[in-house]
Structure 1
């Protein structure tokens, strides 16, 4: 394993879509996202692996040692938030590339063929910054989202996913490989590992997530000529709703609930016109679903009262509700043993953020790993992880993938549960005589 080559690749990819403050801006299916995809395609080609691109833009580098055998998949995503960080997602893809190179060389040298093949993946639109919902590509692959519906999703300029992917040349036709397991390494995006001086986080579950699509409808009027008493200002009402979303966290124990409004658009967005329409998205997350549900009820009640007071209409719609996902104990135990064997400290940890591994975990046994984030900062240009932690994470992912390809999470007796892309997890596992991990995303 060449740590220098890994770090060189990481720093090279960070130049694609680079911002002036050491971040990146590579939103899904933009020109800069296409440049990172070209980089990934070239890496796969030069390594002698097969490249497949499916119908939602997911990219797979396939190391097929045994024709017909299913794949262990490792990877993450290369797209970013607007003015995002260099590490989120890209670190996991680049680490997966180098882990696969190491294992491929070991297989060639030893002549021992693993039970499973290996695939490196770059998932489409994990971030959801340009196209909502997030975790799109892996959720389509896992059968949680309908591909045609996702292809019809549009950005704020009215460009569809289908048009955007076709425009950059990455609307593929492959179906994606049959998969038997998944592993992903990612930055924590929180401060627990750094605070406790722990190198590896072993993710055991995800938080419950609920979004609210809120449309505030007032009346357009002149900012100068209309009397204050005659105005129905959608933006004033929306601003109060934003504060409601923030303040509802005070109803619960500290850090038991997190909330935000991250996107807001208004019409007609003229300096001389009172806003007639504001659209915003509220995000509620907690480890306890009942807390999220209670916060939602409080918001609905307060928003209804606000609408009556301001004599405007507010439409609130639930969407993108994601239940708690629990990762398999066997995978957590395996990862803990691997960390101990290579001398890395580790602890169990929850993920408050969504990840492709959470979607994949509904499909096949999955392992999610974290490395520390400096100051717990993410989704901004100041996002940072040290090179030492990045290299330790690469070593960890390589060792975990090495175990997975020989069948460490799949019993040697009986038939392995292998699921093809887009097959609903519950139905597929039931057909194989197993049980699904979690419900629909």
Structure 2
């Protein structure tokens, strides 16, 4: 397929849920998400590729090259953050579809015999903006999250995942494909590639992630009639917790730890009522599990002191803990080989963010690649990557997919600790 065809498709998909400032609002299992899913299904159907939807809403476009063989899977996700960017996730899905088409076209003209079939995926709820936790669909596929529990997760309005998927027609029952490998390409969401003038990143490992589910419980009262000394204001205490989460990074070397509170809800949320309950989630990430553990310990102690000072209760629970994942050396070398053949400069790079590839790397040989992000911004409308960098990434993914369907990677030990298992769950 031509470069122009990819760009036309990419910018068309960016119109689904488009915002005034050139971003997208396409949270999981919303009507806007349905538009992108319908487009994915139509793209596959026009090429006579089989479409499957599994029990957690993951979509697969399957291309049979070797009857009965497992699949090499390409893809990412089409859902977005609230007021998110149009590149995050969607680029990887579009690149996967076009890379798959290029492999099919190349097989028609070259005398080669693939070992595996090829497929493209749109993972459900990678972002986790509407339904927590994030990376849900791929984690259920990989067996690290329970499907029934995830289907029962509710958004802030009380709608479950199952209800939301059913409402848009994507609560599937299809059998999940058997896999032999996975490859994903994504915008970096950082500044390293842009700063160094490098087109392609070969991701070698992911950061350790630890989230804290924090519930601050005070007492509801009148904002005008209650004496200051008699108040048990959950929001005041919660505001101090938010600052603690931000300030804990100063206890370590610069950029050794990142932390934030990105979501906060309060009850009853009235302008004339002292808040009785605040719920928030703290996100801690580092290349060092020890640093995260130390930060967590410091926060737990300081939060306990805040509860005591304000005479309220604060419940803190560990949530969504993810170990460091190392990507296979063979996959890194494959990316470097493909980049060299294409004349693209490449470097190894870590990912601080979570991706579907982190979940998939637990069960099959996985390749993860980055292309540059302008100014390193992401999860906002200003997110941007140039057409030239997107097109170079599609070339790279096409090359990696070609090699993988011909057996370039096979199931083997990951970081010398666990055998990959072919996913047939």
Q: TM-score, normalised by structure 1?
A: 0.94
Structure 2: 5+ residue runs without aligned partners? 413-418
After TM superposition, list the pairs within 5 Å mapping 1:214-229 onto structure 2. 214-229=214-229
- 2:202 touches 2:369 (CA, 8 Å); kept in 1? yes
Query: Could you tell me how far apart the structure 2 residues matched to 1:70 and 1:229 are?
Result: 67
Query: Could you tell me how far apart the structure 1 residues matched to 2:313 and 2:377 are?
Result: 37
Q: Which residue of 2 aligns with 1:436?
A: none
Q: Which residue of 2 aligns with 1:125?
A: 125
Query: Could you tell me how far apart the structure 2 residues matched to 1:411 and 1:146 are?
Result: 24
- 1:70 touches 1:418 (CA, 8 Å); kept in 2? no
Q: Structure 1 residue 108: deviation in Å?
A: 2.4
Query: Could you tell me how far apart the structure 1 residues matched to 2:333 and 2:114 are?
Result: 21
Classify the secondary structure of the residue corresponding to 2:354: coil
Classify the secondary structure of the residue corresponding to 2:247: helix
- 1:178 touches 1:418 (CA, 8 Å); kept in 2? no
Q: Which residue of 2 aligns with 1:207?
A: 207
Query: Could you tell me how far apart the structure 1 residues matched to 2:423 and 2:252 are?
Result: 42
Q: Which residue of 1 aligns with 2:300?
A: 300
Q: Which residue of 2 aligns with 1:369?
A: 369
After TM superposition, list the pairs within 5 Å mapping 1:25-174 onto structure 2. 25-110=25-110, 112-174=112-174
Query: Could you tell me how far apart the structure 1 residues matched to 2:114 and 2:60 are?
Result: 19
Q: Which residue of 1 aligns with 2:423?
A: 420
Q: Structure 1 residue 418: deviation in Å?
A: 6.0
Q: Structure 1 residue 78: deviation in Å?
A: 0.2
Deviations 1:99-129 (A, max 9, x none): 0111111222335331100001000000000
- 2:265 touches 2:279 (CA, 8 Å); kept in 1? yes
Query: Could you tell me how far apart the structure 1 residues matched to 2:208 and 2:38 are?
Result: 35
- 1:201 touches 1:371 (CA, 8 Å); kept in 2? yes
Q: Does 1:4 align with 2:32?
A: no
Q: Which residue of 2 aligns with 1:195?
A: 195
Query: Could you tell me how far apart the structure 2 residues matched to 1:417 and 1:304 are?
Result: 42
Deviations 1:53-85 (A, max 9, x none): 100000000000121100000000000000000
Query: Could you tell me how far apart the structure 2 residues matched to 1:117 and 1:417 are?
Result: 18
- 1:34 touches 1:168 (CA, 8 Å); kept in 2? yes
- 1:9 touches 1:94 (CA, 8 Å); kept in 2? yes
Q: Which residue of 2 aligns with 1:310?
A: 310
Q: Which residue of 2 aligns with 1:18?
A: 18
Query: Could you tell me how far apart the structure 2 residues matched to 1:275 and 1:167 are?
Result: 34
Give 4+ residue runs of structure 1 displaced > 6 Å after superposition.
none
Query: Could you tell me how far apart the structure 2 residues matched to 1:198 and 1:276 are?
Result: 51
Q: Which residue of 2 aligns with 1:240?
A: 240
Query: Could you tell me how far apart the structure 2 residues matched to 1:238 and 1:204 are?
Result: 37
Q: Aligned pairs, how many?
A: 419
Query: Could you tell me how far apart the structure 2 residues matched to 1:161 and 1:109 are?
Result: 44
Classify the secondary structure of the residue corresponding to 1:285: strand
- 1:327 touches 1:367 (CA, 8 Å); kept in 2? yes
Query: Could you tell me how far apart the structure 2 residues matched to 1:384 and 1:138 are?
Result: 25
Q: Which residue of 2 aligns with 1:276?
A: 276
Q: TM-score, normalised by structure 2?
A: 0.97
Classify the secondary structure of the residue corresponding to 1:73: strand
Classify the secondary structure of the residue corresponding to 1:47: coil
- 2:62 touches 2:120 (CA, 8 Å); kept in 1? yes
Query: Could you tell me how far apart the structure 2 residues matched to 1:339 and 1:110 are?
Result: 21
Q: Does 1:332 align with 2:332?
A: yes
Query: Could you tell me how far apart the structure 2 residues matched to 1:238 and 1:165 are?
Result: 33
Classify the secondary structure of the residue corresponding to 1:133: coil
Q: Which residue of 1 aligns with 2:287?
A: 287
Q: Which residue of 2 aligns with 1:425?
A: none
Bigger shift: residues 105-114 or 116-125: 105-114
Q: Which residue of 1 aligns with 2:231?
A: 231
- 2:411 touches 2:422 (CA, 8 Å); kept in 1? no
Query: Could you tell me how far apart the structure 1 residues matched to 2:12 and 2:151 are?
Result: 30
Query: Could you tell me how far apart the structure 1 residues matched to 2:73 and 2:104 are?
Result: 14
Classify the secondary structure of the residue corresponding to 1:317: strand
- 1:126 touches 1:135 (CA, 8 Å); kept in 2? yes
Classify the secondary structure of the residue corresponding to 2:296: helix
Classify the secondary structure of the residue corresponding to 2:46: helix
